[in-house]
Amino acid sequence: MAGLSVAFTLDCYRNIEDNYNSLKSIREDNPWRRGAIVISWLNDLYKLQKREPQKEIEPSLINAIFRMYDRFPRIGLRERTGQQDMSLDIADAYLNGRNAMIEAGVGIGKSFGYLIPSLLINQVSRQPIIIATSSIQLSEQIHKDLRVIGSRLGFTTVRSVVGKGMGQYACRHRAAGLFEPDDPSSPLSTLAQRILNFEIDERADIKGGISDAEWSNVCVNDCIFERCHYKNACLFYDMRTKINARACDIDFIIVNQDLLIRDLIKKKEGTRGIITEQPALIVIDEAHNLEAKVRDAGTLEFTLRRTCRILDDALQILFKQSRDKSLFSQSKFLKSCVERIFKQIDADLLHAAKQDNDRIKVSEIKGIPFSRASRDLRDLSLSLSVLTSRHEREIDEVFEAMNGLIRLFDVLAGVEDNYLIWASNTQREATISICPKAISQFLKYTLFNGKTPVILTSATMCQGGETLEEQYAYLTKSLGYTGDYMDRQSSPFDYSSHAMMYISGNIPYYRHDKRELYLEAAYTEMIKLCNLTQGRTLVLFSAKEDMKYVHKRLISGADEYKWALHVQKEGASQDGVIAEFRGSKGVLLSTGVFWEGVNIEGSDLSQVIIFRLPFPVPADPIYEYKAAQAKNPLKEVFVPDMLLRLRQGTGRLIRSETDLGVLSILDSRLSTAARKDYRDKVLETLPFKKVTEDFSVLERFVKEKGIQRTV
Ligand code: SF4
């Protein structure tokens, strides 16, 4: 329960324990008796913590939670103490109108832990619950879990919707413009035709996947909403209508964090929000990703094409209203400024970007009359603002885009200092990005503002530390969080006897100028380790370039191993490659989302190899900024960030009570000989109790536990 780490007096503790034990011993068919004891137990806790509940504890909600769990054995589900505690913590936060952070370790059943109180809160309040998570796969998994737990517990009329980002949906309006009757069999025409034939509604409908570049031609980018005659058969339009329904018309809105943040940004800026107002509760799952998601959502990207389109759209709307011909010369002048800016960005990228997605500094842009350009942009924005009162979505969108453009010009002119700016080749197009420097103020104002209780949860939120406050400190600071810290619900899995962590001390440190030396040594060690478990290994890379190198070497050195090799491919479905990996029991090379989104129970996955510790790149403008704010950047930024990611990656290994496995780290900075301060932090934070740098000890463990496959 909340705040159990507060020092107790022994007598009080015994009281609570007695109550808790009698609670457990009461037969499951007597929920009301259990409920009375729970309330007495909670009240004892509050007295102990000298924390008075802000509202009377609602016996009905707490009782109802226990009644739900009482039914678990009958509906074929296992009772887990951590899960029940999590549910009670959430009910407590809701009843007291407080925010709560709850770390819920792998295996406690986190999603049911928050879905059960959420179902009840929705029923009591008749207001929707918003659940935001960090990927589409997880949103869909939560939706499935909601259906399962809802139907088993008798919530059969729950109305729910999953909202994904616009880039996931196909746009028929765009597809219609792309179909070429003269060349109907070209790849683009074929794709457009399939969309127009209703074979494809969203990206996931394309079996075998599609590259980002191809998909970017047909996905939703600037929806024209009511003006579109495809709207009644459009999945995107339908989703946007449901997530913005009246509070009484929807029960659960499951979205990715990007969408939630975009909604908060819109509401803060005074434009129409995307998600319905007045939810009863907001649950943010995978909350360790929230900072990055807020930054991504707050980042405005401009390509030459997009910028010219914003100006064209504004011109079209305003001219239709005013018939003012001077708008044309204004627009022409602004376009010439934009073309000049992108000419320089192209030159910068050619000179400094080494690979796709490299973020480079933007050099000073000369020869542009910024004050005149800024004045003209503001004039156009002002004229649009008068029209936004009509509440037409299209005008709102152009108004918002125009304000973004004003911000870009201000940053380039040096009059706006609250943004980071960089250039990159995103999707092979020169792109300028601007991102707010500090995000904590934004979250304080829009999310942690006391209007709706917010629950932040994840399996990896904490670092080492004496108090809960210290353990949750990195995320608290990054997010500007204010609220309660709940006890960490640790994983019920037996890491001490089921797993071993191996740290390789033989590999030279990574240095950019000796990259190949490092990669060759790591490659040799990786082969040895994969042969030890006879495949069944997930190799996690922090750098795509490392993965490409190793993949190439494995192809040329195929006589060194007998297992099947799989590699994550751009645009291919994650589920597809995981299914192939499971089928062959081979080795899967991966990066990015695979650090988080892989759940393979059983012996198909017996080893996870961390190729290099996942430290953030120091030259990344965001981390450069965060480091500049810290007294000790390594301790306050780079190590905590690396630890969150490392915990996610290593969490792929043990996924059930019977799983056995090996975690291997091919980064000798973590070896005893390296004497790095963060070694202790890593060992304290990871759940692995058996740690070795001796390969023969690892071999013995693998043999004893029967991890080696008998062929
Ligand atoms: S409603 Fe919007 S997303 Fe759907 S087809 Fe029309 S323009 Fe595209």
Beta bridge partners of 609: 539, 664
Ligand 1: centre distance to CA 214 (Å): 18
Radius of gyration (C-alpha) of the chain in whole angstroms: 27
Q: Say yes or no: CB of residue 434 within 6 Å of ligand 1.
A: no
Q: Say yes or no: CB of residue 173 within 6 Å of ligand 1.
A: yes
Calculate the alpha carbon distances from 135 to 169, 197, 198, 419 in Å. Answer: 15, 28, 25, 26
Average pLDDT over residues 281-303: 94
Whether 27 has a pLDDT exceeding 50, the answer reads no
3-state secondary structure 178-195: HCCCCCCCCHHHHHHHHH
**Hey, which of 198, 230, 393 would you mutate to test ligand 1's pocket, going by the most ligand atoms within 8 Å of its Cβ?**
230
Q: Say yes or no: CB of residue 224 within 6 Å of ligand 1.
A: yes
Q: Say yes or no: CB of residue 234 within 6 Å of ligand 1.
A: yes
pLDDT per residue as tens digits for the range 390-432 = 656 778 889 989 999 999 999 999 999 999 999 998 777 899 9
Whether 98 has a pLDDT exceeding 70, the answer reads yes
Ligand 1: centre distance to CA 174 (Å): 8
pLDDT per residue as tens digits for the range 327-385 = 999 999 999 999 999 999 999 888 887 666 678 888 888 889 999 999 999 999 998 88
φ, ψ of residue 589 to 5 degrees: the values are -95, 130
372, two tokens: 């005149």
**Count of H helices and E strands in the chain?**
28, 17
Ligand 1: centre distance to CA 229 (Å): 8
Ligand 1: centre distance to CA 498 (Å): 51
Whether 639 has a pLDDT exceeding 80, the answer reads yes
Ligand 1: centre distance to CA 440 (Å): 34
Ligand 1 atom with least separation from CA of 174? 8
Reported confidence tier of residue 574, pLDDT bands at 50, 70, 90: confident
Q: What pLDDT does 652 receive?
A: 96
Closest residue by Cα to residue 365 from 333, 409, 428, 306:
409
CA distance 606 to 586: 10
Average pLDDT over residues 66-87: 89
Ligand 1: centre distance to CA 437 (Å): 33
The set of residues, in sequence order, having a beta carbon less than 8 Å from that of 306 and lying 6+ positions away, is none
Q: For the chain, give the number of residues.
A: 711
Neighbours of 286 (CB within 10 A): 24
Q: What pLDDT does 387 receive?
A: 79
Calculate the alpha carbon distances from 3 to 50, 103, 358, 484, 499 in Å. Answer: 11, 13, 44, 8, 31
CA distance 488 to 103: 5
Q: 565-567 and 587-590: which strand pairing?
A: parallel
Q: Three-state SS for 28?
A: coil
φ, ψ of residue 14 to 5 degrees: the values are -60, -40
Look over the chain and give the mean of its residue pLDDT values, rounded to a whole number.
Answer: 87
- Range from 27-31, 114-118, 140-144, 509-513 carrying the lowest mean pLDDT: 27-31
Reported confidence tier of residue 41, pLDDT bands at 50, 70, 90: low
pLDDT per residue as tens digits for the range 207-251 = 877 888 899 999 998 888 889 999 999 999 999 999 999 988 999
Ligand 1 atom with least separation from CA of 224? 7
Report yes or no: 129 and 279 within 8 Å, Cβ to Cβ.
yes
Average pLDDT over residues 666-687: 93
First to last CA, the chain: 48
Ligand 1: centre distance to CA 192 (Å): 14
**Hey, which of 173, 219, 232, 241 would you mutate to test ligand 1's pocket, going by the most ligand atoms within 8 Å of its Cβ?**
173
Whether 710 has a pLDDT exceeding 60, the answer reads no
Q: What pLDDT does 620 receive?
A: 83
Q: Whose CA is nearest to atom 1 of ligand 1?
A: 231
Q: How many Cα atoms sit within 13 Å of 142 on the Cβ side?
A: 32
Report yes or no: 167 and 136 within 8 Å, Cβ to Cβ.
no
Q: Say yes or no: CB of residue 230 within 6 Å of ligand 1.
A: yes
Q: Say yes or no: CB of residue 220 within 6 Å of ligand 1.
A: yes
Q: Three-state SS for 420?
A: strand
Q: 454-458 and 281-284: which strand pairing?
A: parallel
Whether 17 has a pLDDT exceeding 50, the answer reads no
Q: What pLDDT does 9 receive?
A: 35
Average pLDDT over residues 569-589: 86
Q: Say yes or no: CB of residue 236 within 6 Å of ligand 1.
A: yes
Amino acid occupying residue 109: G
Q: What pLDDT does 39 receive?
A: 53
Q: What pLDDT does 14 receive?
A: 44
The set of residues, in sequence order, having a beta carbon less than 8 Å from that of 51 and lying 6+ positions away, is 3
Whether 580 has a pLDDT exceeding 80, the answer reads yes
Q: Say yes or no: CB of residue 237 within 6 Å of ligand 1.
A: yes
pLDDT per residue as tens digits for the range 160-178 = 999 998 999 999 999 998 8
- Classify residue 417 by burial, with Cβ atoms within 10 Å: 0-12, 13-18, 19+: exposed
Pick the most confident of 295-304, 384-393, 448-457: 448-457
Average pLDDT over residues 25-49: 48
Ligand 1: centre distance to CA 227 (Å): 9
Ligand 1: centre distance to CA 240 (Å): 11
Closest residue by Cα to residue 129 from 142, 140, 138, 141:
142
Ligand 1: centre distance to CA 225 (Å): 6
Q: Say yes or no: CB of residue 585 within 6 Å of ligand 1.
A: no
Whether 21 has a pLDDT exceeding 60, the answer reads no
Ligand 1 atom with least separation from CA of 228? 6
DSSP 8-state assignment for residue 219: B
Q: Say yes or no: CB of residue 239 within 6 Å of ligand 1.
A: no
DSSP 8-state assignment for residue 360: B
CA distance 490 to 106: 8
More reliable by pLDDT, 513 or 188: 188
Q: What pLDDT does 422 receive?
A: 93
Ligand 1: centre distance to CA 223 (Å): 5
Q: What is the pTM of this model?
A: 0.80
Q: Say yes or no: CB of residue 536 within 6 Å of ligand 1.
A: no
Q: Whose CA is nearest to atom 7 of ligand 1?
A: 223
Q: Say yes or no: CB of residue 228 within 6 Å of ligand 1.
A: yes
